[in-house]
A and B are shown apart, each in its own frame.
Chain A
Amino acid sequence: MKLLRTLLIILIAVYGLTACATSKSRHYSSNVVQYLYPKQKQPIETPQMPVLSLPLSVGIAFVPETTSSHRTLTEVNKADLMKEASTHFKQYDFVKSIEIIPSPYLTQKGSFANLDQIRTMFGIDVMVLLSYDQTRFTDEGLASITYWTIIGAYLVAGEKNDTHTMVDATVYDIKSRKMLFRAPGTSHIKSRATPVNLSEQVRKDSLEGFKLASKELVINLEEQLRLFKEKVKEAPQDYQIVHKPGYTGGGSLDISFLIFMMLLGGFWLWISYRKV
Chain B
Amino acid sequence: MDILPKSLTSRFPIWTGLILGLSLISYALPQVSSALIYDRAALFKGEIWRLFTSHLVHFTPLHLFYNLIAFGIAGWIIEYRGYQHFVPLCLLMAFFISVSLMVMKPGMIYYGGLSGLASGAIYYLALFGLRESPPWRLVCVLTLFFVPIKILLELEMNQSLFAYSEPFTIMPISHIIGCLVALVLFLVYSARRINGTFFYCKGFWGQQK
Contact = CB atoms under 8 A, between A and B. Distances in A.
Given A249-B105, A256-B161, A276 B97 contact: no
A245 B105 CA distance: 12
10 contacts: A55-B109, A92-B41, A94-B109, A250-B170, A251-B112, A251-B174, A252-B160, A268-B136, A273-B5, A273-B8
Contacts of A264: 73, 77, 122, 139, 143
Contact of B66 (A246, A254, A265, A272): A254
Interface in A221-276: 243, 245-258, 260-262, 264-265, 267-269, 271-273, 276
B199 interface: no
A94 B109 CA distance: 8
B51 interface: no
Contacts of B76: 265
Interface string B163-183: 110111111001100000000
Nearest to A273: B5
Given A251-B55, A260-B146, A269-B4, 4 more contacts: A249-B169, A250-B170, A261-B73, A273-B8
In this complex, the member of A248, A250, A257, A265 whose beta carbon has the largest number of chain B beta carbons within 10 angstroms is: A250
Nearest to A265: B73
Contact of A271 (B97, B113, B118, B136): B136
B57 to A, nearest CB: 9
A4 B191 CA distance: 116
A261 B69 contact: yes
Instruction: Determine the main DSSP class of A at the interface with B.
Output: mixed
Nearest to A254: B160
A256 B115 CA distance: 13
Contacts of B70: 253, 257-258, 261
Given A93-B41, A247-B107, A276-B5, A257 B66 contact: yes
In this complex, the member of B39, B74, B113, B168 whose beta carbon has the largest number of chain A beta carbons within 10 angstroms is: B168
A252 B115 contact: yes
Interface of A: 55, 91-94, 96, 243, 245-258, 260-262, 264-265, 267-269, 271-273, 276
A276 B7 CA distance: 8
A273 B160 CA distance: 34
B193 interface: no
B125 to A, nearest CB: 8
B111 interface: yes
Nearest to B115: A251
Interface in B63-99: 63, 66-67, 69-70, 73-74, 76-77, 97
